[in-house]
Amino acid sequence: MEVRTGSPVCLPDSRSRCWRWIMSDDRRLRVWAPDASTMEVSINDVLFPMEREQPGSDDRGYWTLGDPQDGTPIRDGDRYAFSVDGGPLRPDPRSRRQPDGVHAPSQWTVRAPESMPAGYAPPAWATAVVYELHIGTFSTDASFDGAIGHLDDLVALGVTYVDVMPVASASGARGWGYDGVALYSVSESYGGPDGLRRFVAACHERGLGVLMDVVYNHLGPEGNYLGEFGPYFTDAYRTPWGSAINLDGSGSDEVRSFLIDNARQWMRDYGCDGLRIDAVHALYDHTAYHFLEELSVATERLSVDLGRSLVLVAESDSNDPRLVTPRAYGGYGIDAQWSDDFHHALHVALTGEQHGYYAGFAGIDDLATSLRDVYVHAGDHAQSRGRRHGRPVANLPGERFLAYSQNHDQVGNRGQGERMCHLVDPERAKIAAALTILSPMVPMLFQGEEWAASTPFLYFTDHGDPALAQAVREGRRREFSGFGLDPDQIPDPQEHGTYRASVLDWTERSRSPHADMLEWYTALLALRREEADLRYADRTRVSVECDSAAGWLHLRRGCIHLHATFIDAPVVLPVLAAGQALTPLLHSANARHEHGRLCFDSPGVAIYRR
């Protein structure tokens, strides 16, 4: 449904709960269904015929309610649903609320105006520290209100932006969020639209920016009725989830508008400060005006209208810098993208794993390449792909890229949902934290990593269709049997216990060894914030040296030096020439300065100013 605004309209009153009349020149129910022969809408179980819009010969396939001269009553809270060609009633593709689930009628909801705390301005992106969280597992309440209770902890840690995993309505009460099917509706299990507004307002009151994760490359498998309304999907391309979203075929103009309007909603109506866009490499668009460029332009215009900065962050595995190159220079104009190459190189250097997409990564050498050049694969052969991959980022600034040692994918897509702290010892986990937080990119943390959370982050679902639930269960087991794991040891995504095991235990933060790791993360983030050479995501004053055989890496950012060793043997590194002096800033327990040398008894990290 598209709501058009025009002349004044009778809105619901808290005392009289008056009717709001849907008129052609005020507000009206409007739905896109270009191939339908008839369209009806049920309002509170009363069926009304709809009429095809035909502005001249330009029939784009929209239907509206009734004769423009007549009024049809609908009010806040009313349930409504559409029937295409006499078929079953379906929720509104643009539904703002699905209180009874994604299969039930939609609830008519008036858009609330944006409300910002006085004096709030989004944090500067060049000095951003991002924290990815999942509302359903971030707190024991599994809600927006529950998450609010931990925001002060994030502020104390040094976080400036929270990246909220998707909250669009999906089947069931729990899941990662990437199976959303009602893209305009906020999950009721988390607190619905009002809960999201409270969460965003609470973030802003603390100076935290909010990035909303959106999924525009596919819809979930259960409750996805978009295809019954129009050509939202195309078989011209295939994605890991099935048919691709139609961005360049017949009818794609309206599909693109559907997605662009959805993006505006999160930033305009809920006050989010930007979006994280899922897997943009699966957005297939061969038009001259790529969808991501169109989204960039729309976001820039909305930023002007709202009078505040907005940020677009993309997930992409294409290693194509055009994604984050300004439009004036031939790029798409996205503000930043995730850097999987940094993660993979760091992971291999610390764990030695070489399976799957880790194949071909050379550990310390590639980690040095990523710290210096961002992409490890910038046009060379990638073993895991069996072909050349990527292109150089040239002189793009560090703020265009996010560095991370963990995220929901890299943890949750493991068979047992293991975090870095479950795979390596605490000293190696501290190396991961130091290289991520002090990298010349925007650092991103994944919920709980700052205290080495004991809880995993498992893959969990709540599908209502038994056949779908079994298919997901069996597919998960097949996937990991190829990694040598016993299929019976893979947690069942549908089991409630799988979800419960992933909920963070905030009480352990004050206990050893978690308190020690939290202190380390807090100190690293304070160092990044306080040191001018570390504060900005700046690649211009960076040098990296390494010796993979000797097991060490040296990162220099201006006058700040970081040395890390990765091998289980003593390492001695001369760091001072005659007459030089250094100022120790931070080091792990097994590192020490002695007579101009750094001495490591085992893997560790030391940071100093020289």
> Would you state the pLDDT for residue 576?
81
Give residue 479's pLDDT: 80
Instruction: Dig out the tokens for 607 from the structure.
Output: 């940071």
Q: Residues 546-567, buried b or exposed e (16+ Cβ, 10 A)? A: bebeebbbbbbbeebbbbbbbe
Catalytic residue among 278, 294, 340, 409: 278
Question: Residue 65: what pLDDT?
Answer: 86
Give the pLDDT confidence score for residue 578 in this predicted structure: 65
Q: Delineate the domains of the chain, giving CATH numbers in brackets.
A: 20-90 (2.60.40.10), 130-351+395-530 (3.20.20.80), 540-609 (2.60.40.1180)
Would you state the pLDDT for residue 10?
A: 34
Q: What is the pLDDT of residues 439-488, one digit of tens each?
A: 999 999 999 999 999 999 999 999 999 999 999 999 888 888 666 678 88
3-state SS record for 409-458: HHHHCCCCCCCHHHHCCHHHHHHHHHHHHCCCCEEEEECCHHHCCCCCCC
The per-residue pLDDT for 425 is 97
Token pair belonging to 213: 């994760």
Return the pLDDT at 11.
Answer: 31
Q: What per-residue confidence (pLDDT) applies to 9?
A: 32
**What pLDDT shows up at residue 8?**
29
- Strand, helix or coil at 333? coil
Query: Catalytic one among 92, 228, 315, 427?
Result: 315
First to last CA, the chain: 61
Question: Is 278 in the active site?
Answer: yes
Report the pLDDT value the prediction gives residue 67, as an integer from 0 to 100: 53
The pLDDT of residue 483 is: 66
pLDDT at residue 581, rounded to an integer? 85
- Can you give the pTM of this predicted structure? 0.94
Catalytic site includes residue 315: yes
State which residues of the chain have pLDDT below 70. Answer: 1-27, 55-57, 66-73, 481-484, 578-579
